[in-house]
Structure 1
């Protein structure tokens, strides 16, 4: 059976969608009553205390999963080089999610081209310390060739299928085939636009087809609240 996780980038429920969620409890508890997964993006900007991750894990059902974005210190400041201390700190923090920890998301800056030696060294370091699911969202065109996907596959790292795609080939998930991960940022206006019903219907049909053992769909069109309606609609259609 394929495991399907649909959610949004963040869980604070916009007021216009409050009626679709239970009225009582924290935003996270209410969110987790309707959607099976969420992506933590705040970890990209600042660290969270281990106790915070543990509190979040305690607030959701057993089957709920969190994807967690790696810090920009690793991806954007250090650009994957010399990241041992920052990576260890992040893994200690996010590890407090326990069995509710889903994929780690490594989002790369658009300026970071594919360099096999650098990427191989960092992913080897990551794999020495973490055996769970990992997904990478590269945004430089040089990543979307056979060499980039081969390196990701070797380290059991899936590649995000992004919309809008930052480069040719970026719309389709790639890398390690054991996980599919879609990040949908809204189109035509990134972070704002809701997806048309026919677009969600096509995606639901795709998700119902046999594919990877685990599939994630995260809506990041959160600026005006479209993500929550899109996620609930897709969840209902995909069954």
Structure 2
């Protein structure tokens, strides 16, 4: 039975407090992605959540990374937080047109929703219908009302992955809704600011072994405080 590929990285790569912990002191900002990609094969793009990257920005990221590097692009907060999937066809087209400049390095596209966004199946399906089937999509819902079989079944219908998120604040559900798995590790005890123990990582490894039978597995550490994300991602790679 064919196994999926495992991609391990962090949620973003630009953090000032990683200097001296991961990045060498005085490393120029423009060289950080190149340095990062010498250690990891994937990263989430945080910048695209707050801004609309130009095609030239995506082209630059593409040229700085090895041939087998994969970017997970975080969809604009205009789509997820301001419009909450309603009336966003034009905004989505603009986002994906630019992101396609990553070419073969464009991996899953992450939609991260606010905790105040409650279940709305009609709105969700209306949005899913406008997504091209040529790309991979993942949804991270942060209100517990979304932990519902109707949601899982709808995501399965469109082969969209439910984000398996670990945190002390957001709902936890290990729902498999696509032919790949997407995991976000936000910190188990303190949101974004706690380091995973060897025991916790060992437990994750056992789950990953099982999930690789489904398809590719993407794991991103978002506990960026004190460089914990880098430390944990390196440990998991080992």
Asked if these proteins are the same fold (TM beyond 0.5), I'd say yes
Q: 1:231 aligns with which of 222, 233, 236?
A: 233
Distance (whole Å) between structure 2 residues aligned to residue 188 and residue 167 of structure 1: 12
Shift of 1:197: 1.3
Alignment-derived partner of residue 74 in structure 2: 69
Distance (whole Å) between structure 1 residues aligned to residue 82 and residue 158 of structure 2: 23
What are the within-5 Å matches in structure 2 for residues 210-225 of structure 1? 210-225=212-227
Alignment-derived partner of residue 138 in structure 1: 141
Counterpart secondary structure, 1:61? coil
| 2:177 aligned with 1:172 | no
Q: 2:63 aligns with which of 47, 58, 64?
A: 58
Q: 1:103 aligns with which of 108, 112, 115?
A: 108
Alignment-derived partner of residue 194 in structure 2: 193
TM-score by length of 2: 0.90
Q: Which moved more, 1:8-17 or 1:155-164?
A: 8-17
Shift of 1:187: 2.2
TM-score by length of 1: 0.90
Deviations 1:112-165 (A, max 9, x none): 1121111000011123xx521100001111211110001111111000011116
Counterpart contact for 1:165–1:171, Cα < 8 Å = no
Q: 1:37 aligns with which of 38, 42, 45?
A: 42
Alignment-derived partner of residue 159 in structure 2: 156
Distance (whole Å) between structure 1 residues aligned to residue 53 and residue 183 of structure 2: 25
| 2:20 aligned with 1:15 | yes
Distance (whole Å) between structure 2 residues aligned to residue 201 and residue 195 of structure 1: 10
Listed as ranges, the gaps of 5+ residues in structure 2 are none
Q: What is the count of residue pairs matched by the alignment? A: 229
Counterpart secondary structure, 2:134? coil
Distance (whole Å) between structure 2 residues aligned to residue 125 and residue 225 of structure 1: 38
Counterpart contact for 1:14–1:225, Cα < 8 Å = no
